Structure 1
Amino acid sequence: MVYALFSASVLLAIGAIYAGAIGWLYFRQERLLFEPDPLQPDDPICPDPDTREFFIDVPGARLSVAHMVRPNPRGVFFFLHGNSGNLKKWFVELDAFRQANFDVVMFDYRGFGKSSGQIESEEQLHADVAAVWEHFAARYEGKRVVISGQSLGTGLAAGPAAKLSSAGHAPDLTLLVSPYSSMRALAAELYPWVPTQVLRYPLHTLEHAAKLLGPVMLIHGDKDELIPIHHSEQLCTEMGKGKCKAELLRVTGAGHSDVHQFPTVRKALLAALGRL
């Protein structure tokens, strides 16, 4: 009897701890998903003379935007960065785009860099991406458009690329670096003890991928332990069933954070931009 009561008490205590942990994850998961690094207002993002920085106002926040402008560009490279740092980390190595004669547009999510506010939902993230793209869309009408994302940004890039495809204006290239099939699927792999319903940022890249038109390039390190390469393999397979032409570049020896540093990636990027 005593043993049974003790066992029941232990189970109740474990259940309470588990429920508390799940509740914390549900309400505070932004702290796990996003690692913003703020910038001081007077800290320049990039000193290059062909770059500029400014803000785009969205409901409840101002988003910090960096823009590299060529005299007569062939098109624009719209890039959505990963879950950490700020534009000072991501808005770099621009010579490849100068060589290809492409403008570059990037922005910091809420709370990152000089952007104000804080991320509160996936819907808000998608709305901010749409607002920034709409700011530039008319400027690049009739020119080449590349929609790209890396890591977290791949799920955000797939959305506008699919929307443009559905509207009959498919991007000339959709480029996804270290993508996930969905954040929900990735979370299930990394944290199998957490119910998938807890995740408020499911980011279903795979669902958008099925709607993409035009060429798609996936780049993934074969040593990536954070987002295993099988996510790109699945995306590539599903895209192949649709109307887009998808290819996967497997970067031998690359992990998650260093894949963009490999010469094969720069070479593939220049080749892809040159074909547009």
Structure 2
Amino acid sequence: MPIATDAWVRISAATSPSFSKDGRTLFHLRGAGLPQVWAMDADGSNPRQLSFHDEKVAFLRRCPADDRLIWGVDAGGDERQQFVLLAPGSEPLQITDAPDVIHDFGAWSVDGARIAFACNDRDERFHDICLMELATGARVRLLEGPGILTVPSWSPDGTRLAVIEDHSSTDQRLWILDVVTGAATLVQRPSPARYASVRWTGDGTALNGLTDQDAAFMRLCRIDPATGAATAIYAPEGRDVEAWSLSPDGKTLATIENDRGYAVLRVGELGTDRPAVGGLPVGIVADLSWSPDSVRLAFTAQGPGAPPGIWLWQAGIVRPLVRPDPLAEAGIDPATFIEPRLVEWTSFDGTRIPGWFALPHGPAPAGGFPSVVWVHGGPASQTRANFRADIQMLLSQGFAVLMPNIRGSTGYGRAYLEADEVGKRPDAMADLAAGRAWLAAQPSIDPERIGIMGQSYGGWVVLAAVTLQPELWKAAVNYYGIADFVTLLERTGPWRRDHRAREYGFPGTDDALFRRISPIHHVDRVVAPVLVLHGDRDPRVPMHESDQIVQALEQRQKQVRYERFTYAGHGFIRPDHRVRVYAAVADHFVTHL
């Protein structure tokens, strides 16, 4: 008997731990759907809620000097975050009040007197770097941005900021910004590179951070700001390092590396052969946070069968912190969860394409299981071994699931990441067709009942599949996908236009490609019934994309159902929205597969 679709919405999570200044408290985010700021004792006891927004809290940062907290909330998922400051013993105070402006938190000054952040209040096309004096609210605009900027770190002496310019999915530029003069200096590099988790060293002479400069994969490197030279600190063969944290005493290094979609946590003395940490859910680790005494490491861990929770490492031993049963309100038995397995297939040009495959519990019905191919967004993203309530819901409903990481996905090196750009985008669709053929050949699968589902860029893949590969797909679900690359680039958030065009192509230059790959031009070929879901506050893929594809399908009397959501952004966060989404998706696939 399938689990009721609304039960999946009530699964809770706990993430983003941060120790208090004295190490006795862990601030964190918890909840189902709209996580809020909480505090608990460092052993997991005495939980208390600190924020009470009717919105999702998007991030949480503690001041390095004391226990003041800053977090961010937007309005209905529109990504125009405002900052909220909470001082111990006080009520939360909203310190930005410009609901049409994106505020991207960057860094505290070491003394906690100021914050650095990016915002687009001057011109929504550009992110500027600003400072705010927290005592007075006074603001200074240091740098008028050339594009999308973030501020990952403030130097220990308070004189410089590290700034990352996000030029494209495969090209970030690293700048050093003088806090006094506003002068910006570009850190040299020999070729395009990515940068992430960049922080000043304790003495302020260099930067430590993740980069694929001079390499195929992301490595933890020491970066000389004067010359740009990147010296590897930790570089596992054939894997991205995706997170790192050095203990406050500078002696113990924690890293997370990406092993084909699984996370490997290593903790040990800096400069030694650090062991992998065992005893964790087989899945994903994130949000590394050291205690002030450098003894304990808090982090988030999850797996396909384990919702996100907070764990502690100490002296080589890991344990989960006590918390309420995340499945209690949902009433779901964890024994029903299914862990996908890694699979591969060969695409048209010999490229090996990875993916995850899961079958429902029990024997296959006569003729085989119906199945759904689920495609991630991005495209610079990766389906991982994390907890996905929607995937478990599909499995509960009796559908097998294949989750491909077609070319353009992260986690497999720079060449694979770049393999779908601009004119090479049809190659990714060939990867999808090869994956569908692999799935149809599995003895437990009914080759005549294969559907497809995807979100954002994955939604474009869905629409491209039913228009360009109509004979392959029996039913389709498109979450806020791209119907026309020309109208997307006209209407997406202005700050994103050039960034996305560097990935997809530019209007006027790549019009022939856009006509070839934009689903709106091939609607006549659609055979599969299509479910379309979209929110009216989506800043990335505006609702116009779904409006026009639905109108085109209806004009041609194709089978289409349109679920429009009020007060929803690029993703369905609110519990009442998710109840509708899960019910609609299950109904669509049960009816048509």
Partner of 1:273: 589
**Residue 69 of structure 1 contacts residue 104 of structure 1 at CA under 8 Å; is this kept in 2?**
yes
Q: CA RMSD in A?
A: 3.3
Change beyond 3 A, Cα 1:220–1:132:
same
Change beyond 3 A, Cα 1:74–1:137:
closer
Change beyond 3 A, Cα 1:172–1:131:
closer
1:269 aligns to what SS in structure 2?
A: helix
Segments of structure 2 that go 5 or more residues without pairing to the other structure are: 1-146, 148-166, 172-193, 195-216, 219-239, 241-257, 264-281, 284-302, 306-337
Segments of structure 1 that go 5 or more residues without pairing to the other structure are: 1-20, 22-27
Alpha-carbon offset, residue 214 of structure 1 = 3.3
**Residue 491 of structure 2 contacts residue 542 of structure 2 at CA under 8 Å; is this kept in 1?**
no
* 1:56-80 deviation line (CA, Å, top 9, x unaligned): 2333643220011123264111111
Alpha-carbon offset, residue 111 of structure 1 = 5.4
* 1:160-212 deviation line (CA, Å, top 9, x unaligned): 323553x4x6x332111002221222112345898503458634021233311
Q: Quick one: higher RCO (CA 8 Å, sep 6+), 1 or 2?
A: 1
CA distance in 1, matches of 2:574, 2:450: 20
The TM-score, its normalising length taken from structure 2, stands at: 0.37
Q: Does residue 177 of the first structure (1) align with residue 479 of the second (2)?
A: yes
Partner of 2:507: 196
Alpha-carbon offset, residue 115 of structure 1 = 3.8
Partner of 2:375: 80
1:258 aligns to what SS in structure 2?
A: coil
Partner of 1:65: 355
Amino acid at match of 1:223: R
**Residue 64 of structure 1 contacts residue 113 of structure 1 at CA under 8 Å; is this kept in 2?**
no
Change beyond 3 A, Cα 1:143–1:124:
closer
More strand by share: 2
1:188 aligns to what SS in structure 2?
A: helix
* 1:209-266 deviation line (CA, Å, top 9, x unaligned): 3311131110001211211112111111100122421111012221003359722111
**Residue 75 of structure 1 contacts residue 103 of structure 1 at CA under 8 Å; is this kept in 2?**
yes
Q: How does 1:22-33 map to 2 (within 5 A)?
A: 31=170
Change beyond 3 A, Cα 1:263–1:76:
same
Alpha-carbon offset, residue 89 of structure 1 = 7.2
CA distance in 2, matches of 1:90, 1:161: 28
Change beyond 3 A, Cα 1:159–1:111:
closer
CA distance in 2, matches of 1:267, 1:211: 28
* 1:126-158 deviation line (CA, Å, top 9, x unaligned): 222222122112334455221222111122222
* 1:50-102 deviation line (CA, Å, top 9, x unaligned): 42112223336432200111232641111111004311277722221122100
Amino acid at match of 1:65: G
Partner of 1:107: 404
1:212 to 502, 522, 526: 526
Amino acid at match of 1:69: L
Q: Does residue 152 of the first structure (1) align with residue 469 of the second (2)?
A: no
Flag the structure with larger Rg.
2
Amino acid at match of 1:226: R
Change beyond 3 A, Cα 1:209–1:160:
same
1:40 to 246, 253, 259: 259
CA distance in 2, matches of 1:60, 1:126: 14
Deviates more, 1:227-236 or 1:41-50: 41-50
Q: Does residue 119 of the first structure (1) align with residue 119 of the second (2)?
A: no
More helix by share: 1
CA distance in 2, matches of 1:258, 1:199: 32
